[in-house]
């Protein structure tokens, strides 16, 4: 069974809606399981460099998917705080060779979300993780896809956009479907990874 952890911060519920869509995508794949973990459940290490909260679920995962809103052209401060809290794991390379992916949401169609995505990729790279790209062509190139899938044309991961409304109504269905497809892609990749392909003996 491939285990996927989805770690996210959501200020207004819109990024959480995308996290839940990623979760549905993972859960649709046989032999894959996923859990949602808010950064609020990941406190900093204690004075002995030990971790409490739900950090062990990240350590046990085969893949970790990172999700944060884009505020002022980069990931939210709360998510950056989680990244910095992971420094003791980084030092011992505790997440080395896990799979990684990411998603972000903002109010603007652009909002400089690409900057947020590259921040997540660099973070995963520092942990020596293996990044999984979006893997879905934009609807503008593949009109046979469900409407609005990858409408923002992201390649690194999921980029979504929400209007100034409740999370039940926005981001739109196409963005949520994009997130589901991404969850499926990472789940399948984690299953292949678990089969030992490319692993050292």
Q: pLDDT per position in the chain (201 positions), as tens? A: 999 999 999 999 999 999 999 999 999 999 999 999 999 999 999 999 999 999 999 999 999 999 999 999 999 999 999 999 999 999 999 999 999 999 999 999 999 999 999 999 999 999 999 999 999 999 888 888 888 999 999 999 999 999 999 999 999 999 999 999 999 999 999 999 987 644 444
- Amino acid 196: pLDDT: 61
Question: Residue 32: which of 197, 198, 195 has the closest Cα?
Answer: 195
**Spatial separation of the C-alpha atoms in residues 160 and 174, rounded to whole Å:** 9
Task: For residue 35, count other CB atoms closer than 10 A to its CB.
Answer: 16
pTM of the predicted protein model:
0.95
Quote the CATH superfamily of domain 2-194. Flavodoxin domain (3.40.50.360)
- Amino acid 201: pLDDT: 41
What are the domain boundaries of the chain? 2-194
Place of tokens 């996923």: 34
Residue 75: phi and psi, rounded to 5, are -65, 155
């Amino acid at each position: 069974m491939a285990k996927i952890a989805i770690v996210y911060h959501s200020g207004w519920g819109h990024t959480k809606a995308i996290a839940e869509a990623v979760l549905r995508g993972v859960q649709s794949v046989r032999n894959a399981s996923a859990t949602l973990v808010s950064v609020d459940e990941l406190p900093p290490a204690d004075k002995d460099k030990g971790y409490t909260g739900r950090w062990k679920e990240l350590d046990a995962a085969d893949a970790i998917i990172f999700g944060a809103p884009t505020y002022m052209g980069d990931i939210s401060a709360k998510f950056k705080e989680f990244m910095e809290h992971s420094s003791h794991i980084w030092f011992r390379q505790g997440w080395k060779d896990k799979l990684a992916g990411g998603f972000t949401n903002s109010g603007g169609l652009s909002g400089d979300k690409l900057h947020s995505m590259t921040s997540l990729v660099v973070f995963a790279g520092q942990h020596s993780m293996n990044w999984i790209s979006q893997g879905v062509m934009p609807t503008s190139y593949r009109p046979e896809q469900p409407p609005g899938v990858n409408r923002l044309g992201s390649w690194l991961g999921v980029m979504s956009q929400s209007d100034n409304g409740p999370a039940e109504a926005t981001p739109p269905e196409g963005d949520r479907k994009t997130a589901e497809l991404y969850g499926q892609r990472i789940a399948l990749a984690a299953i292949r990874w678990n089969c030992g392909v490319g692993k050292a003996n």
